[in-house]
A = this chain, B = another copy of it.
Amino acid sequence: MTDRQLHLNVNMLSAGFYGSAWRASAGDPAAFTDINHYVKLAKIAERGTFDAVFLADSPALVDRPEFRPFYTLEPTIILTAIAAATEFIGLIATASTTYNEPYNIARRFASVDLASGGRAGWNVVTTADAVAARNFGFDNAVAHTTRYERAAEFTEVVTGLWDSWEDDALVGDKATGRFMDTSRLHALNHVGRFFSVRGPLNVPRSPQGHPVIVQAGGSDDGRALAARYAEAIFSVANSIDEGKAFADDIRRRAAAYGRPGSAIVTLPGLATVIGSTEEEARRRDDYLWSLIPADYSLVRVAGILNVDPHSLDLDEPLPDTIQMPIDGSQTFFRALVEVARRDRLTVRQLLRRLGGGTGHRVIVGTPEQIADDIEAWFRAGAADGFNLMPDLLPEGLELFVDHVVPLLRQRGIFRSAYAGTTLRSHLGLERPANRHTIKERLAG
């Protein structure tokens, strides 16, 4: 065993990462709204001693509902049902800083954290899509820069509220009738550009202090936010060099805030298609691709590149006119354009290489090949672990847990049992001290 240990999350994308997952023989079209589906996935992941389950989200009916189910049940509701049925696994959900109020988000995630004994994580996103904006009074997506400025202030307010009760605030002395030590309870009195929030929160700290802060944006603004607040990062990287460069950049930026490199765990996305032979894995991949309608991925990638789908030809390279954006969903845009140009791919090849146009890396192979790949990235410092996106759920996750996890354990890079009960414990993150307690200690 090395000291440094790998971290694994599973991204629970309804019936699986492939758009066609629900059409596969093992797929359940109604899985996306079935709470038992998510509970089942979490139990499998817990059997594989994963760090956490992860739920992406947008408050909208996104993608193309005539073909594919996407974000549906509100993620903290799913996580709470999972918390009731599991003991160890971490619970990370996405919530938007653009379409929520910080008091509500601080309280909701603190509640999941307490209800799960300290297993919650909040994935901070700014929600780029225009479809969501139109559910919240905007005609179009809120501008990128504004979203990130709001996100930074939002996160500052949330973390401030999470510290509004010191750990020993609750007294509960029946004899004297003293319920709380109000000197351990702190108003926030935040007044900023976007928010005025007095506080204190009405929820105490949890066994892990407060929920782990996760971040997923790779734009310059996204990295700046991550460097300041994120404790785990769900990133996009398509080569070891890219993964290393990202990790180095984030840790260099974090150092400017006085944060040590060990305070941040990087977890690139990784889609997996597993077969007992490489040939079998390729056949599985072909099968899943054959179930995706010809125009579905094209519309999807055109959406990310912000071009008319008709301007793309499946058997030609990306048009030269496509320029890197100055605003918008830069992470996935950049990944697509860089890989397409580097490897001189047609649009069809690009779609298939990058998860149907999502920008995430796809690996098709045997358990050994996947374990080799994971180990290589981990040892090179290109990743502290992965946010896994199995092709089909639960099947692809079961294959990973039963056939890849044992190899990672044999190689001494992944746990065989949980050492603690909180998400911070799994991720090797320290329990954060309360800011007011620190201040008092320094003054004392």
Residues of A within 8 A of B (CB): 20, 22-23, 25, 27, 29-30, 33, 35, 59-62, 65-74, 76-78, 80-81, 83-85, 99-101, 103-104, 107-108, 111-112, 114-115, 131, 134-138, 170-172, 174, 177-180, 182, 185, 195-204, 291, 293
Contacts and interface: CB of A to CB of B under 8 A. Distances in A.
Given A22-B172, A112-B77, A203 B72 contact: yes
A70 to B, nearest CB: 7
Contacts of A172: 22, 29-30
B179 A293 contact: no
A103 B58 CA distance: 11
B73 A197 contact: no
How many copies make up the complex? 2
B29 A174 contact: yes
Given A33-B203, A137-B197, 7 more contacts: A29-B171, A29-B172, A29-B174, A81-B83, A99-B103, A100-B101, A135-B197
Contact of A81 (B33, B84, B103): B84
Contacts of A177: 20, 23, 67, 291, 293
Contact of A182 (B66, B84, B138): B66
Given A30-B170, A59-B104, A202 B72 contact: yes
Q: Identify which of A59, A104, A135 gathers the most chain B CB atoms within 10 Å of its CB.
A: A135
A198 B68 contact: no
Contacts of A201: 61
B77 A136 contact: no
A73 B203 contact: yes
8 contacts: A25-B174, A59-B202, A61-B202, A73-B114, A73-B203, A77-B112, A84-B84, A138-B196
B174 A33 contact: no
A65 B197 contact: no
Given A29-B172, A199-B135, A293-B177, A185 B65 contact: yes
Contacts of A72: 111, 202-204
Contacts of A291: 177
Contact of A35 (B62, B115, B182): B115
A78 to B, nearest CB: 8
B107 A59 contact: yes
A156 B128 CA distance: 27
Contact of A77 (B25, B61, B80, B204): B80
